[in-house]
Structure 1
């Protein structure tokens, strides 16, 4: 039996847990640091579509579970993987941990997707931190793979 492979990225964001949680479920906030469009808020049992217009890319995001201010469990990507967003209230703010798992790839393809997930979710957390703590929109996602 093989072990489950998790990709994990985390960041302390120096804001109350309610504000940080809202930033991930409310596309009016999330579009300032991650995707450019969404068909709606994340709600348990709902599927929304996220778009990254600069890359002409989109993904359907199935929301499996939401525990307010604690957890968002989703499934998305092609092929689909599980992505959990965990929120932990701490003395100095909120620790956000993003875990991605359920990969079907093997070998070099698995190594590539682990690298992509680790870097991508770290970039999302960095952008979220800058936006929520300082009101700065860094355009990290757009600038990660600049077009000509």
Structure 2
């Protein structure tokens, strides 16, 4: 029997302490270096935010659900006609590094859900790679990466 709900999960080790990685995720001034282009505020429990991304020209509503300092962040965001739960867990690892695991849940196992699964799995892998590049090397991988999508042909 196939599952009725689809779920994405990706993990990556970031060679920085948990508290620094946590701050990079909740602080919009840091998030703009690897994930979003703009946010209406800091990720705090119960807060409603608007995010903008460099690859799409749209406001993305975000409702922060739960925040446990240096351990866990969850929020809901809208994906067209539906809303998904995103959970990020941070676990200390060897030598003061951090394992970041991102899980996104809530799409039906149908054609639209499979399309979402493909696109958002790619997106979360990109998120983790960009977070790692920014945290460890100060490299902003997303800068200019999506400009071609807005060029008029």
Q: TM-score, normalised by structure 1?
A: 0.91
Q: In structure 2, what is the equivalent of residue 101 of structure 1? A: 105
| Contact 2:6 2:109 survives alignment (8 Å) | no
Find the aligned partners of 1:145 and 1:106 in 2 and give their Cα distance: 32
RMSD of aligned residue pairs (Cα, Å):
1.8
Indicate the residue corresponding to 2:148 in structure 1.
Answer: 146
Q: How many corresponding residue pairs?
A: 146
Structure 1 runs of 4+ aligned residues shifted over 6 Å read: none
Return 5+ residue gaps in structure 2 as ranges. none
Q: How does 1:13-32 map to 2 (within 5 A)?
A: 13-32=14-33
What SS does structure 2 have at the residue aligned with 1:146? helix
Query: For residue 63 of structure 2, what is the aligned residue in structure 1?
Result: 62
Q: Partners of 2:88 and 2:58 in 1: how far apart?
A: 22
**TM-score normalised by length of structure 2:** 0.88
Which one has the bigger strand percentage? 2
Aligned residue for 1:143, secondary structure, equals coil
Shift of residue 77 of structure 1?
1.9
Q: Following superposition of structure 1 onto structure 2, how do residues 79-94 of structure 1 map, counting pairs within 5 Å?
A: 79-92=82-95, 93-94=97-98
Q: Which residue of 2 aligns with 1:45?
A: 46
DSSP-derived class of the 1:81 partner: strand
Point out where structure 1 has 5 or more consecutive residues left out of the alignment: none
